[in-house]
A and B are shown apart, each in its own frame.
Chain A
Amino acid sequence: MAETTTQHAPVRFETHPDRYVHWKLDFPAEHDGKVARLQMDVKEDRGMRPGYVLKLNSYDLGVDIELADALQRIRFEHPEVRALLVTSGKDRIFCSGANIYMLGSSSHGFKVNFCKFTNETRLYIEEMSAESGIPSLASLNGTASGGGYELAIACDEIVLADDGSSAVSFPEAPLLGVLPGTGGLTRLVDKRKIRRDLADAFSTIAEGVRGKRAVEWGLVDEAPPKAKLGEVTKRRLDALVARSTRKPFTPITLTPLEAKRSENKTEYGYVTLELSPKARTARLIVKAPTTKQPETPEELAKAGASAWAIQAFRELDDALLDLRFNHPTIGVVSVETLGDPAAVLAVDAMLAKHKDDGLVREVILLMKRVLKRMDLTAKSFFALVTPGSCFVGSLLELALASDRIYMKDSEDEEVTVATSPLNAGLLPMANNLSRLQTRFLREPERVSRVLEQGPLRTRDAVAAGLVTFAPDDIDWDDEIRIAFEERASLSPDAMTGMEASLRFAGPETMETKIFGRLSAWQNWIFQRPNAVGEKGALTLYGRPERPSFDWART
């Protein structure tokens, strides 16, 4: 399977249930509409790119974009939903994972980005359960293999039809010479807490484990006979609905983003992405609200998707994905903000005050996810704090998520940064710490000090530990130019690895292990001859020849 070198059309991440090809989202009457049912029914011949057929409910990025969209809409557009059911619209198969031929024909970069995106989406299912009060159940009416079981294991509970043939399996290692890299291995031991030896055995049995043994090993929670699957699914969903902590609110509609796209520039309402392909740099600019923003949850519901807190962060999310998938050679991104800091702080104050409101909670979680997306984006981010910028509160997080913060030390103009209550733990990173806590691991007392202080001018911000370098008016332009040129000249691989190692100080969580350990190993394996060489297992899958391995281990 040769990697394709043809230029593909840019990947776009917006869709709508009316346009879903591979998923059906509905709200069955038997649960009074309190359960969102997502049925996977992949259309074989509707892959995102040519060259592969999506057999047996296997997926590509197009399938996962629909899933991510559905989850987002369930959050905002369906406050009545109190549980999520993930199942299959096909008769004897739940899902057979990421399409092997798609992986085999994709570039390394696309594979990595694909896995990252699908990993994020799986984590969103878990976040829905943990934070939004929407626990989830995977009801497996057939075999779930590879990424199919990884999708199931992202749900709180799994039931598997015991029909003598349906199995859960991780065939990646024995069949393909790669890993179940969408969190599968990590979740076996960290989430379902399956014994490592059983997890080891499970992950090397290509055909997987069925029925009773799957229950004994903890791979699934229950394995009723096929005829009872519906009944068991309903019983468990009723229990999930009963334990849900979802709070009612007025639904809002996620309207399509408006973006003016030209060759090197995308202008959304509040976000602008400007590319300099030759310099391999980009500018990511986020503007503060310019109109009156909602002051209560009711007004927020009325404003809907046009409220700054929702619109700006949805746009930012789209821009980050655009950077990842469509602009692989961009290496360094300047993170800039523009506008009235007071307007941002007012939005933050409202959100903090009403953080227990159902809709507000969803808005804060949206911000959190987008900021995490930034943490996990393999570009060098340099925040530029200048006169006219508004790195305060929720937008200060953009600077804190950056690899460096440059703040102008100006004689004439006021340059400030400021915190808001949102910096105090409402927008945690994957390590479950706030960005301030992660930044000040060595001197934790600085966190509360920064949070208590008002706006900080450059010298105070430097003293507080918020600034990397603070060039003055005279030096600024040169310093910044040189910093970007230097950074853009360094090995992109080394920068990706270095940044990923430095960004997530502090404790490990399942999430950091998935991205920092599992994904890193997977990305290494994806480059190795044993997987993708001429005689590699992934290369030769489905071909007449058998793989031949380099047996050396370290």
Chain B
Amino acid sequence: MSTVVNDTKIPNNVDLASDKRLQRALEAWQPNFLAWWKEMGPCGFQNDDVFLRTAVSVTSDGWAHFDYVKMPDYRWGIFLADPVPDRKIGFGDHYGEPVWKEVPGEYRNALRRIIVTQGDTEPASVEQQRMLGHSCPSVYDLRNLFQVNVEEGRHLWAMVYLLHTYFGRDGREEAEALLQRRSGDPDKPRILGAFNEPCTDWLSFYMFTFFTDRDGKFQLLALAESAFDPLSRTTRFMLTEEAHHMFVGETGVLRICERTAQQMAEKKLDNADQVRAAGLIDLETMQKYLNLWYSLSLDLFGGEISSNAATYFATGLKGRAKEEQYEDHKALDGTYAMDVVKDGKLAREDVPLRNAMNEVLRDAYIEDCQRGVDKWNRAIAAHGIPFKLELPSRRFHRHIGVYAGLYFDPKGNLLTKEEWEAKKDEWLPSAADKEFVKSLMAKPVFDPKQMANWIAPPKQGIKGRPVDFEYVRRQA
């Protein structure tokens, strides 16, 4: 087991002290990262003491060390999962060969692109969420937000470590550029669409951490299979942190469902207007937010039929989630049947399996999402409320891939543009819906004893602390 060295400026388990060149490069990047964090990180809470988890080693107990820390002093560092001895490449044309400890020249550009695209999402989500602290439903949730934020920052570090270590000058320039792009800035947008969408209310935040961070999980699972071992080790460790983000999303939405359903049953509220009048988020609106963030997140997997995906798989750069569950690791002969639009109708088409790898990953993702939705529905049903949240069709509201530019209802039926325009406010949050959701969150809850009206308290606190523990000590 590797140990974490905490006596350098940058905590790490990669023996940074012995690589002076890399150490210097990262130490030069660090002030720029901090400047970015201060400018674009959580706005207005930088001097507060936050009860955060910090990794002190990569073992299961070591990475869960909790203490108060001011966010700018968070010990962002570089942690890789321990190497698997004699690890072999698990898929693609190089199946069975030893994994690469260095980047093969012929895959350098493609790998860099993959790492930059992944890396770009990490600071992007911090930027998207930077104002959320001012509308938090509880101190418990505020702390969770900040935990997510600092860990996204650390994930950026993880990708920057790879760029600095293995990609030379280009890598350093890309690492700088990661700090220069800004979510939602038309001049220098983040690379992927969903990461330029505003995330300015807590319902969106929970949906984001449930759906969009779950895309992150599956991307990381696919990269954890990579033949490039440093990428595999980095992403395997990141997955442990990502799990918490999805916990925040899953329980956040669950607690809203719980609260709304419980109040509906108790106060006999039976329509959305009554629910809203009681200061709660109606389940219909929940469904719309789900539709939005789910469809935006589906786009992140890329086109259904993709030559890049085929190349990445063939070359061993990016596999399938949990590759060991498959029998055929070359995937050269198989096909994948998918629905495409031909002459205005949906038609089945067989696509070579390697070209359909994005869709294979998307399938696993959808299945995973469904498990969470089922939990939410059980909570609603427990109060006897006859409402079920549903994942819309994967064709609904897509901007990338074979369904982009076409119109589908949540069941996946093809619509005309006119039909879509007439109905879209029934399926996606309208301006009025957003206005309403924001109105519930106009005032933040900074008293540890309080919980906003529209959400149920969590079942338990963090690391054995009570729910009303002072997870964030406000300095103001």
B-binding residues in A (CB < 8 A): 162-165, 174, 205-207, 213, 225-228, 541-546
Contacts and interface: CB of A to CB of B under 8 A. Distances in A.
Given A544-B332, A544-B355, A225 B311 contact: no
A542 B307 CA distance: 4
A544 B313 CA distance: 9
B180 interface: yes
Given A164-B177, A164-B180, A164-B181, A542 B187 contact: no
B246 to A, nearest CB: 28
A163 B332 CA distance: 37
Interface size class of B (residues with CB under 8 A): 20 to 34
A543 B331 CA distance: 12
A544 B352 contact: yes
Interface in B153-185: 173, 177, 180-181
A544 B336 CA distance: 12
A544 B109 contact: no
A543 B191 contact: no
Contacts of A164: 177, 180-181, 188-189, 191
The 10 closest A-B pairs by CB, nearest first: A544-B354, A225-B187, A542-B307, A544-B352, A164-B188, A164-B181, A226-B187, A546-B314, A544-B310, A227-B187
Contacts of A174: 109
B314 A544 contact: yes
Interface in B99-119: 109-110, 113
Most buried by B among A163, A165, A544, A545: A544
B85 interface: no
B390 to A, nearest CB: 31
B186 A226 contact: yes
Contacts of A213: 173
Contacts of A542: 307, 310, 355
A546 B313 CA distance: 10
B93 A546 contact: yes
A544 B181 contact: no
9 contacts: A163-B186, A163-B187, A205-B109, A225-B188, A227-B186, A542-B355, A543-B352, A544-B355, A546-B314
Interface in B328-343: 331-332
B207 interface: no
Contacts of B353: 544
A541 B355 CA distance: 11
Contact of B109 (A165, A207, A543): A207
Nearest to B120: A164
B315 interface: yes
A545 B332 contact: yes
B106 to A, nearest CB: 9
Given A163-B189, A165-B191, A545 B109 contact: no
B264 to A, nearest CB: 43
Contacts of B311: 546
B317 to A, nearest CB: 12
A543 B109 CA distance: 20
A545 B353 CA distance: 11
Nearest to B170: A205
Given A207-B109, A542-B355, A165 B187 contact: no
Contacts of B181: 164
Contacts of A541: 307
Given A164-B189, A543-B310, A207 B93 contact: no
B109 A206 contact: yes
Given A162-B187, A227-B186, 18 more contacts: A164-B180, A164-B181, A164-B191, A165-B189, A207-B113, A213-B173, A226-B186, A541-B307, A542-B310, A542-B355, A543-B307, A543-B310, A543-B352, A544-B352, A546-B93, A546-B311, A546-B314, A546-B315
A541 B180 CA distance: 34
Contacts of A225: 187-188
B6 to A, nearest CB: 34
